[in-house]
């Protein structure tokens, strides 16, 4: 079971390292890690389990964050229609994206960052993505809203990028070109 102590924090070199494509079929070790990563997110959103193990609630977790350089991440969140999205994305890619951008007005957070970093993080408003499932099946998905933002945040991790790298240094709340802020109702 992954706990907060298993999650590395900013300053650790693995968070700045680009991950490597995962080969199929998956080894048992990678399968276990992927399953544990998704389970962590599920646990972190369960008030009783989160309280018992002192877990900070998260919607996404990339392999780098548990000090592994496999190119994969887990997401567990509801989309804007209230549908539960819960998957492990292996060797994920963005195949196309909208011209329109978006950002979270409250800024982004990260399980590997134990401080509040204010500022707008520009993201594509809509993305079409491809990734492999644990069985090696190729999935194509269109994401908007929070799932699109979270996917981009996690994909950045796999490339060694932290969300605050994208915040305007001089003016963290400068207007983002072509952007509509993301607000969940
Ligand atoms: Zn993060």
- How many angstroms separate the alpha carbon of residue 157 from the centre of ligand 1? 7
Q: Do residues 121 and 107 make contact, with C-beta atoms less than 8 angstroms apart?
A: yes
Q: Model pTM?
A: 0.97
Position 110 scores a pLDDT of: 98
- 104-132 residue pLDDT tens: 999 999 999 999 999 999 999 999 999 99
Instruction: Evaluate the CA torsion angle 99, 127, 109, 158 in order and state its sign.
Output: negative
Position 144 scores a pLDDT of: 97
Position 184 scores a pLDDT of: 76
Position 185 scores a pLDDT of: 63
Residue ranges, the chain, pLDDT below 70 = 185
Instruction: Evaluate the CA torsion angle 28, 1, 65, 46 in order and state its sign.
Output: positive
Q: Is 157 annotated as a binding residue?
A: yes
- Domains parsed from the chain with CATH numbers: 2-179 (3.90.45.10)
Active site residues: 154
- How many angstroms separate the alpha carbon of residue 115 from the centre of ligand 1? 12
Residues around the ion ligand 1 (C-beta < 5 A): 110
Distance CA 32, CA 34 (A): 6
Distance CA 3, CA 40 (A): 7
- 161-176 residue pLDDT tens: 999 999 999 999 999 9
- How many angstroms separate the alpha carbon of residue 53 from the centre of ligand 1? 20
């Amino acid at each position: 079971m992954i706990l907060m102590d298993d999650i590395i924090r900013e300053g650790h070199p693995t968070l700045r390292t680009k991950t490597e494509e995962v080969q199929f079929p998956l080894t048992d070790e990678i399968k276990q890690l992927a399953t544990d990563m998704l389970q962590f997110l599920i646990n972190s959103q369960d008030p009783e389990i989160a309280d018992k193990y002192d877990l900070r609630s998260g919607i996404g977790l990339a392999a780098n964050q548990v000090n592994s350089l496999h190119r994969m991440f887990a997401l567990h969140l509801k989309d804007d229609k209230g549908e539960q999205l819960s998957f492990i994305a292996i060797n994920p890619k963005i195949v196309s994206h909208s011209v329109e951008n978006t950002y979270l007005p409250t800024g982004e957070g990260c399980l590997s960052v134990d401080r509040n970093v204010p500022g707008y993080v520009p993201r594509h408003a809509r993305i079409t993505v491809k990734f492999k499932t644990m069985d090696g099946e190729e999935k194509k998905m269109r994401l908007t809203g929070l799932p699109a933002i979270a996917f981009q945040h996690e994909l950045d991790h796999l490339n060694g990028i932290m969300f605050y790298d994208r915040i305007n240094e001089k003016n963290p709340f400068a207007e983002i070109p072509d952007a509509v802020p993301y607000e969940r109702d």
